[in-house]
Amino acid sequence: MADGVSQNGFSIIGKPLAMADAVAKVTGIGKYADDLYVPGMLIGKILHSPHPHARIRSIDTSRAEALAGVKAVATGNDARNPYGILPIGHDERALALDKARYIGDNVAAVAATSAEIAEQALDLLRVDYERLPAWFDPEESMKAESGWIHEQRPHNIEKEYHHVFGDPEKGFAEADFVAEERYYAGEVNQAAMEPHSTLAIWEPHDRLTVHSSTQVPFYLHRTISEVCEMPMSQIRVIKPLIGGGFGGKSEIIPLEVAACVLAKKSHKPVKITYTREEVFLAHRGRPITIVYLKVGITRAGKITAVQARVIQDGGAYCGYGPVTVLYSGALLGAIYDIANVRYDGFRVLTNKPACGAMRGHGTVNVRFAFESMLDQLAHQAGLDPLEVRRINLLKAPCITANSLRVTSYGLPECIEKVFERSNWKEKKGKLPYGKGVGVACSHYVSGAANPIVRSNMPHTTVHIKIDRDAAVTVYTGASEIGQGSDTMQIQIAAEVLGVGVNRIKLVAADTELTPIDLGSYSSRVTFMAGNACLNAAKDMRDQIFAAVAKKLGCPPADLVAKNDRIAHSTDSAKGVSFDEAVAIALEFHGALVARGTYAPPESARGGNFRGAGVGPSPAYSYSAQVAEVTVDPETGHVHVDKIIAAHDCGKALNPLTVEGQIEGSVYMGFGQALQEDMVWQDGRLMNPSLLEYRIPATKENPQIDSIVVESIDPEGPFGAKEAGEGSLAATIPAIANAIYDAVGVRINSVPITPDKILEALRAREKAGQRAETNSLTPEARP
């Protein structure tokens, strides 16, 4: 529990509260980037490569430039500086300079007075391409001896990491049961409902104002400066309302820099909005992941060793790639008490759109593999798979084998909650053929303890201002993307200052007005911006208390702030209204200004080995889930009847939002488990639309019962941890394990489509086995 804050008697914390921006959203008043129009605004369009790998010999822009209404045409030469979200991965350019590396790569851009003219101009561009050999399969790509996608990345390997903790050989020798399998997860896209959009406005005095659909306005700020060769002080980035992110807007997306380059070149406002197809081509989703997994357990169910070789198909650019593959290793075993782990992770380049940091970043596909295998081993050992998870729990607080510090651990309670709610004992292994239940667990970081760009600066700073109107204005860099960031900080400030939420105004994510926050990714906002806001509010409260105490003639420590009053804790008649208190404090200080920051403590920052920087977090969330399914053995169709999801979020600052986050995570896991899959043919995405890439609609989505577990983290704001991502990873293996319980086949490849189930059922029939079957060998897609 955060310093000086009791768990009792909250006025606002822990109460379900409508989002602060809900009315703006339900009335249509709220503005997303594409809703912005300014006088003289040009429309930008991007020319995409039709080839998966090609040298660009020349681009003839003359005919496009001559078209009436065209105000600027840009190519790679207009912005030569490379960029990328990671300091070690600056391999992207606003527009391709020498080579196009995937179908959809950005080759040129135009700005014109209308969308129609911009599109005509794209047709007038003449690009001379020299086609090059291309790689589409990650395991093939790793064998490449020449013609690499990026010359500086031999054998198309972006990064590889090799970690050993404990003694895996000894661990496997001690095991009574050892399983070894290959798992495969297809590629999925965030598919946020809002397609990306950026409005870049060229301003007087050579300044640039950029409104963009971004989860990371401050990284965008820095990148524009690098690419456009302008000082950061000349650039302002504003995040408007964001129509969903899930990681798809958590790094710099090509249209953002292209719009800025066109605005700089035309000296006009330029807006670019992606079509849905372009959203899929810009991508940054979850990579195709191949997991070779080996796990050993004793007869009693104790895990003795884990070994994983993970290959991720990262696409043509680095993006967050090295972080993704490190998360896969760091969070693979750390959920349980496992002493011996070997991890070999490979991030591989292919000629496809770049993957990125999708919800549950790096943890989801390995969790599917691990939790499926744990289920398989439990059955081999004749143990209840839920009991096997109980047997392997950590004894928190503790440090895991890979140096992750665990401060609070609600997993045991999550398991007990889903055990009870699902009536597990009566159902597991006891339902009629075709019906089944499955259990799985997951965990996730509450923000990364080490920032992307290494420094000792705070990860976030919040300012609070109060002046004569006695309104409380919170200035925060944190990015509301629909997850409740703004509301969370309003609640914290209101609770500490003892005022109603309506008194709080919040200014967020504007590089000119708000202090820096690293962004909405890795589930860091509640923990980090929440703590910074808490510290700022306490600073403000201290200033007001000091002034009021002097007036009342009592020590500041005797005062409490509640119900818009500052009063004596034991004699409530002795006190002043909040407005009076502000007036008193203003006499002492002038306009009141307070600041709060947050940086993770040294003890949370992890080990010293290569790659140890990714995985450490100040706190981890935990989830346990039970899925109930009905499988039709004739068609292979799976109906998920219900998912019971318990999530340890530390403390639910706003239970309504926390439940919404759990349900949204489960929903996204459900989509990946059964139906979402990006289908590739020679580097071409065959289903770049929401008609063909099917995210679940109301008719497919299961009943979701969310259960909030509160472990009260010692360092979280009011004990809170993350809620927005951790539940996703448990859903997929819970469904896979339930399918096994229903029809007795294991499908080690997601999405689990009817054809895979039918194939496994037929294979079992052929083998004449009714009991434990060997798993279906997952086939990598062509």
> Where does this chain bind another protein (CB under 8 A)?
18-19, 21-32, 34-39, 190-195, 211, 241-246, 275-277, 481-484, 656-657, 659-660, 663-668, 689-691, 695, 697-699, 701, 703-704, 706
273 or 350: CB nearest another protein: 273
Minimum Å gap between C-beta 27 and another protein is: 5
Contact 718, 653 (CB under 8 A): yes
Q: How far is the CB of 186 from another protein (least distance, A)?
A: 18
Question: Considering beta carbons, is residue 92 or 278 the nearer one to another protein?
Answer: 278
If the CB atoms of residues 18 and 300 are measured against another protein, the closer one turns out to be: 18
Q: Maximum Cα–Cα distance for the chain, whole Å?
A: 88
Rounded to whole angstroms, the Cα distance separating 333 from 319 reads: 25
A 10 A CB-CB count for 509 gives 27
Residue 682 neighbours by CB distance under 10 Å: 11
Distance CA 212, CA 282 (A): 15
Q: How far is 378 from 384, CA to CA, in rounded Å?
A: 6
Treating both helix axes as pointing N-terminal to C-terminal, what angle do 485-497 and 530-552 enclose, rounded to 10 degrees?
Answer: 20
Please identify, using beta-carbon distances, which residue of 276 and 309 lies nearer to another protein. Answer: 276
From residue 53, give the alpha-carbon distance in Å to each of 68, 102, 127, 250, 387.
33, 6, 14, 26, 51
Q: How far is the CB of 203 from another protein (least distance, A)?
A: 13
Burial of residue 29, with CB atoms counted within 10 A of its CB: 0-12 exposed, 13-18 middle, 19 or more buried? exposed
- Of 177 and 280, the one with the shorter C-beta distance to another protein is 280
Least Å from the CB of residue 668 to another protein: 8
What's at 85, amino acid-wise? I
Q: How far is the CB of 241 from another protein (least distance, A)?
A: 7
Instruction: Report the C-alpha gap between 748 and 493 in whole angstroms.
Output: 47
Cβ at position 530, least distance to another protein in Å: 18
- Cβ proximity to another protein: between 36 and 554 the closer is 36
The nearer residue to another protein, 165 or 280, going by C-beta atoms, is 280
Which backbone phi and psi does 292 adopt, to 5 degrees? Answer: -95, 110
Q: Are 315 and 102 in contact (CB under 8 A)?
A: yes
Nearest-approach distance from CB 413 to another protein, in angstroms = 22
Nearer to another protein, 211 or 389 (CB): 211
Work out how close the CB of 483 gets to another protein at its nearest, in angstroms, rounded to a whole number.
7
**Tokens read off for 616:** 């450490």
- Closest approach, Cβ 479 to another protein, in A, equals 12
**Do 515 and 475 form a contact (C-beta atoms < 8 A)?**
yes
Query: Which residue, 404 or 704, has its beta carbon nearer to another protein?
Result: 704
**Which residues neighbour 295 within 8 Å (Cβ) at sequence distance 6 or greater?**
178, 179, 303, 305, 306, 307, 370, 373, 374, 377
Direct distance between the N- and C-terminal alpha carbons of the chain, in angstroms, rounded to an integer: 51
Measured from the Cβ of residue 769, the count of other Cβ atoms closer than 10 Å reads 12
> By C-beta, is 115 or 712 nearer to another protein?
115
Minimum distance from CB of 18 to another protein (Å)?
5
Encoded tokens for 293: 């997994």
Q: Which is nearer to another protein, 493 or 704 (CB)?
A: 704
- State how far the Cα of 311 lies from the Cα of 289, in Å rounded to an integer: 6
- CB of 31 vs another protein, minimal distance in Å: 7
CA distance 539 to 534: 9
d(CA 247, CA 251) in angstroms, rounded, equals: 8
